[in-house]
A and B are shown apart, each in its own frame.
Chain A
Amino acid sequence: MNSIQKKILTLTTVVLVIMSVIWVALTYYNHKTQNQYNEILQRYLSLNEVTSASQQVITDLNNYMLKPTSENLELLEHSEEKLIEAKLDVDSLRNPENNFTLSNYINLIESLQETTDRFLLYFSEKDTEASTKEFTEAMNISNYISEMTLTILDTELKTHDKFYRSIIERSGEVIKLGIWLLLLITFVLILITYWFSLGITRPVLKLTQAANELSNGKFDVEINVETNDEIAFLARTFDRMRNNINNLISEIKNKAQLERELQENKILLQESQFRSLQSQINPHFLFNTLNTLSKKAYLEGSEETSDLLVSVAGLLRYNLKQIDRSVTLFEEVAVLKQYMDIQKARFTERLKFYVDVDEDCLFVRIPALTLQPIIENAVIHAIEPREEGGIIWFRVKDGEEKITIEIEDDGKGMDQEKIQQILEENQMETEGHSTGIGFSNVVKRLRLFYGYDHVINIFSDKGNGTKVVLSIQKEGVEKG
């Protein structure tokens, strides 16, 4: 979980490793160069050693010749030993380019030794002439050795000239390499640091933005931080919090919605109850009077009038019942027929009413007084204004999933605006309804009762009649 720390540690380690590699490489290079210089210098020094050793031999030889003491002899022997040592050293300097000269050189040194030995021999035999001659020779050889040392040094310089040049060239290259390496590392480090810091700051920035949006009240934007460090943890926690708040808020909203709908429903019911109460006192009296009138008409032989009065009374009684109840379609259809009897009596030949009912589906429940206002509407608009009269069809059809109730007239029809108005449950002025219940009230009650909006539909063309279709779904009807 401490991955930011880990990242920082990794970065530091990488930088350190790079630095040490460079340091090691440069040190190695430096060491190598110094070794080479040293080796060459050593060659020169050992060559020089020969010269000085041979000169020392001559000096000691001279001293011994002038003062033949054992001390001087010892010195001479010592310097000779040194000469031999120097010779061995020089022998190791052999390479193809100086092979020849070096052989000569070593032989010269040997010649010097031999001459010295001969000198000592002659000297001990007191052969002065011969020893002097050998001494001169030794001196000559010593001179030749010095000369040849210079020659060999010259060859060495020539041999190593290329090498020196390459070393100098290379140290120039080292500087160049340093510059390139510096550039490369700087570049890489900047990139890595940028990427690395982005890895830390980007989630923080995202988190900040999310917090900002949250504080502005936007709870539905998901917080998405895809790293594996502490900030991702923070982001996840934050996101969970946002989700919780979001859920709470939507719950509260739902509740409020429900409450409002309930309220509306209540108001609607109260309105209709109030209306029915308004007409409750008179209607009982009116109902009894109508019954009396019916019997009287029957007794007086006017049967038709008596039937009409029964219908009116039935209608009235149905109307008087509480409006917020459900009835079966059968009852509703019966009332509808009584109402149409009354209307037929009124319009006589002008009204033609055709009924086509599938008896199997009359069990469905339907809110009371829903069909009657619709058919009343049809009578008002399709029969009343027309002298020649009109036709009204009433059909109940059983479908597989739903029962369709159609009320159709051949009147002048409605325009779309009006249909829209009705379906949107807008209140409009009532045009003399007997029940006092408006179309919009019916629509509202149907929708409330069945719980879906498309329960009622209106098809109409201007001048071609109107068709109101109720589709009642079979399932779920029982519970209503």
Chain B
Amino acid sequence: MRKTSIFLLSLTFIILCYFTFISAKKVFRSDWQLAQETNQNVDQHRLVLITQDMETSFWDQVESGARKQALKEGASLEVWGSYGNNQEDFLEKIEIALYSKVDGIIVQGLDNAEFKELTKIKASFYGIPIITVANDVPMSESFRRTFVGSDQYQAGRMLANELTKEMGTSGTVVLMYDSEHEYYQTQRLSGIQDVLHMYPNIKTVLAQTSETREQVLTTTQDVMNRNPDVDAFIAVNANFAAGMVQEIGKRSQVEPYFIYSFDDAPETLTLLKEEKLDGMVKQSPEMMGENSVQLIMEWLNGDTVPLNTDGYFTDIHFLKAVDVQ
């Protein structure tokens, strides 16, 4: 009896001690520190990647490539940008980056006056190097150091060549492009047209539209009304592809048409998988990210001065719907 009670008492004591100890350990655990104050990263080059289309698969890949390279180079990189082609927001971000005196800006080229003003005047005022990525704005208009991305003219040519291979050397081709006349689109367009013009039996129809979806639909409708014998569609601005396919689908089968586009809009890959697109030009966004960071670091470190103003082209290849399946 006495032994049992002593045992029970000791047990209670040990249990109580144990729980008190555990509890005390939790309370007085010494990870009180806030995030450490630091000055060690001050020397790092601060780079900013600014895009208009945040969180699309294309720009996500550019971002991941850039981050990878920044980590390798020991630079700190931030990705800013606007969502869904909000240009005002996009330009503001560039302005902030300039006022913030970052060491380098990698930016998706935007072929309009404000962009050119910012890059030309403000950037030179603050002495901040700018590299355009994916979409170029000519050196003369933006004072960019260089361009990293696909050779859009070559991309256009590649697409046109594929088209002629599939369609043959005669037919009517609709080229749908932006009314803003962005530099990269003009490049693509000229690439396409240069190839198609070699075949006299191919008739090209130029359809210009603004970027809203309604406009795209209307324009597609209009073009089809005016050219009932159309054989192929090319969305020079990849963002048009979805609307275009939708409108064509409304009228007839999508199958008989040759529909081509580029990969820099979020939905093109899905369309390709659904076989609504017959093919597209695939660029190398990750490589763009990597190369752009590498080049800007080379420039900042003075390894390669000046950079090749014509641009550094990344790989392109053609992706057919059949290949994706």
Residues in chain A within 8 A of chain B (CB atoms): 25, 29, 32, 36, 39-40, 92-97, 99-101, 103-105, 107-108, 110-111, 140-141, 144, 147-148, 159-160, 163, 166, 170, 173-174, 176-177, 180-181, 183-184, 187-188, 191
Taking CB atoms, residues of chain B closer than 8 Å to A187 are 12-13, 16
Q: When chains A and B are docked, how far (Å) is the Cα of A39 from the Cα of B37? A: 12
In this assembly, does B120 line the interface, its C-beta being within 8 Å of a C-beta of chain A?
no
Min Cβ gap A293→B in Å is 94
Q: When chains A and B are docked, how far (Å) is the Cα of A111 from the Cα of B100? A: 7
> How many A-B contacts are there with CB distance less than 8 Å?
96
Assuming the contacts A29-B28, A177-B20, A183-B16, asked whether A95 and B99 have C-beta atoms less than 8 A apart, the reply is no
Could you tell me if B39 and A94 are in contact, using CB atoms closer than 8 angstroms?
A: yes
Could you tell me if B99 and A144 are in contact, using CB atoms closer than 8 angstroms?
A: yes
Q: When chains A and B are docked, how far (Å) is the Cα of A107 from the Cα of B42? A: 12
Taking CB atoms, residues of chain A closer than 8 Å to B41 are 96, 99-100
Assuming the contacts A29-B28, A140-B95, A173-B23, asked whether A95 and B100 have C-beta atoms less than 8 A apart, the reply is no
Given contacts A144-B99, A163-B34, A181-B23, list 14 more A-B pairs with CB under 8 A. Answer: A29-B28, A94-B37, A97-B35, A103-B46, A104-B46, A111-B99, A140-B95, A144-B95, A160-B34, A170-B26, A170-B27, A177-B26, A184-B16, A184-B20
Assuming the contacts A39-B34, A93-B37, asked whether A108 and B23 have C-beta atoms less than 8 A apart, the reply is no
SS of B interface (majority): helix
Assuming the contacts A104-B102, A184-B16, asked whether A173 and B34 have C-beta atoms less than 8 A apart, the reply is no
Min Cβ gap A310→B in Å is 89
Name the CB-closest residue of B to A40: B34
Could you tell me if B99 and A107 are in contact, using CB atoms closer than 8 angstroms?
A: yes
Closest 3 CB pairs of A and B: A104-B100, A95-B35, A177-B23
Min Cβ gap B76→A in Å is 5
25 contacts between A and B (CB under 8 A): A25-B28, A32-B32, A92-B37, A93-B37, A94-B37, A94-B38, A94-B39, A99-B38, A100-B76, A103-B42, A104-B46, A104-B96, A104-B101, A107-B99, A108-B99, A108-B100, A144-B95, A144-B96, A147-B96, A160-B34, A173-B26, A177-B24, A181-B20, A183-B20, A187-B13
Taking CB atoms, residues of chain B closer than 8 Å to A39 are 34
Min Cβ gap B20→A in Å is 4
Q: When chains A and B are docked, how far (Å) is the Cα of A147 from the Cα of B16? A: 53
Within 8 A of A (CB), among B1-53: 9, 12-13, 16-17, 19-20, 23-24, 26-28, 31-32, 34-39, 41-42, 46
Name the CB-closest residue of A to B23: A177
Taking CB atoms, residues of chain B closer than 8 Å to A100 are 41, 46, 76, 78
Q: Mark B91-114, 1 if CB is under 8 A from A, else 0.
A: 010011101111000000000000
Q: Mark B149-169, 1 if CB is under 8 A from A, else 0.
A: 000000000000000000000
Q: When chains A and B are docked, how far (Å) is the Cα of A388 from the Cα of B41? A: 146
Q: When chains A and B are docked, how far (Å) is the Cα of A87 from the Cα of B17? A: 51
Q: When chains A and B are docked, how far (Å) is the Cα of A105 from the Cα of B9? A: 63
Could you tell me if A173 and B19 are in contact, using CB atoms closer than 8 angstroms?
A: no
Q: When chains A and B are docked, how far (Å) is the Cα of A100 from the Cα of B104? A: 13
Taking CB atoms, residues of chain B closer than 8 Å to A97 are 35
Taking CB atoms, residues of chain B closer than 8 Å to A144 are 92, 95-96, 99
Q: When chains A and B are docked, how far (Å) is the Cα of A186 from the Cα of B61? A: 64
Min Cβ gap A341→B in Å is 83
Within 8 A of A (CB), among B72-103: 76, 78, 92, 95-97, 99-102
Q: When chains A and B are docked, how far (Å) is the Cα of A39 from the Cα of B33? A: 11
Taking CB atoms, residues of chain A closer than 8 Å to B34 are 36, 39-40, 95, 159-160, 163
Residues in chain B within 8 A of chain A (CB atoms): 9, 12-13, 16-17, 19-20, 23-24, 26-28, 31-32, 34-39, 41-42, 46, 76, 78, 92, 95-97, 99-102
Taking CB atoms, residues of chain A closer than 8 Å to B26 are 170, 173, 177
Q: When chains A and B are docked, how far (Å) is the Cα of A193 from the Cα of B42? A: 64
Min Cβ gap A265→B in Å is 58
SS of A interface (majority): helix
Min Cβ gap B95→A in Å is 7
Q: When chains A and B are docked, how far (Å) is the Cα of A103 from the Cα of B97? A: 11
Taking CB atoms, residues of chain B closer than 8 Å to A170 are 26-27
Min Cβ gap A182→B in Å is 10
Could you tell me if B13 and A148 are in contact, using CB atoms closer than 8 angstroms?
A: no
Could you tell me if A108 and B96 are in contact, using CB atoms closer than 8 angstroms?
A: yes
Q: CB within 8 A of A180: which of B19, B31, B35, B42? A: B19
Min Cβ gap A31→B in Å is 12
Q: CB within 8 A of B101: which of A110, A159, A173? A: A110
Taking CB atoms, residues of chain B closer than 8 Å to A108 are 96, 99-100
Q: CB within 8 A of A141: which of B19, B36, B99? A: B99
Q: When chains A and B are docked, how far (Å) is the Cα of A212 from the Cα of B92? A: 103
Q: When chains A and B are docked, how far (Å) is the Cα of A176 from the Cα of B26? A: 10
Taking CB atoms, residues of chain A closer than 8 Å to B95 are 140, 144
Taking CB atoms, residues of chain A closer than 8 Å to B31 are 166
Taking CB atoms, residues of chain A closer than 8 Å to B9 are 191
Taking CB atoms, residues of chain A closer than 8 Å to B24 are 177
Assuming the contacts A96-B36, A163-B34, A180-B16, asked whether A174 and B27 have C-beta atoms less than 8 A apart, the reply is yes
Q: When chains A and B are docked, how far (Å) is the Cα of A148 from the Cα of B97? A: 11
Name the CB-closest residue of A to B24: A177
Q: CB within 8 A of A36: which of B32, B39, B96? A: B32
Q: When chains A and B are docked, how far (Å) is the Cα of A29 from the Cα of B78? A: 39
Q: When chains A and B are docked, how far (Å) is the Cα of A163 from the Cα of B29? A: 13
Name the CB-closest residue of A to B13: A187
Taking CB atoms, residues of chain A closer than 8 Å to B36 are 95-96
Min Cβ gap A153→B in Å is 15
Q: When chains A and B are docked, how far (Å) is the Cα of A418 from the Cα of B68? A: 127
Q: When chains A and B are docked, how far (Å) is the Cα of A107 from the Cα of B128? A: 13
Q: When chains A and B are docked, how far (Å) is the Cα of A160 from the Cα of B35? A: 8
Taking CB atoms, residues of chain B closer than 8 Å to A163 are 34
Min Cβ gap A227→B in Å is 20
Q: When chains A and B are docked, how far (Å) is the Cα of A229 from the Cα of B319? A: 101
Could you tell me if B27 and A29 are in contact, using CB atoms closer than 8 angstroms?
A: yes
Taking CB atoms, residues of chain B closer than 8 Å to A184 are 13, 16-17, 20
Q: When chains A and B are docked, how far (Å) is the Cα of A8 from the Cα of B27? A: 33
Q: When chains A and B are docked, how far (Å) is the Cα of A223 from the Cα of B8? A: 33
Q: CB within 8 A of B100: which of A29, A105, A177, A191? A: A105
Q: When chains A and B are docked, how far (Å) is the Cα of A474 from the Cα of B42? A: 123
Taking CB atoms, residues of chain B closer than 8 Å to A177 are 20, 23-24, 26-27
Min Cβ gap A123→B in Å is 19
Q: When chains A and B are docked, how far (Å) is the Cα of A95 from the Cα of B16? A: 41
Min Cβ gap B63→A in Å is 15
Taking CB atoms, residues of chain B closer than 8 Å to A94 are 37-39
Q: When chains A and B are docked, how far (Å) is the Cα of A173 from the Cα of B27? A: 6
Name the CB-closest residue of A to B42: A103
Q: CB within 8 A of B35: which of A25, A101, A159, A174? A: A159
Name the CB-closest residue of B to A188: B13
Min Cβ gap A102→B in Å is 10
Q: When chains A and B are docked, how far (Å) is the Cα of A191 from the Cα of B10? A: 11
Name the CB-closest residue of A to B76: A100
Min Cβ gap B211→A in Å is 27
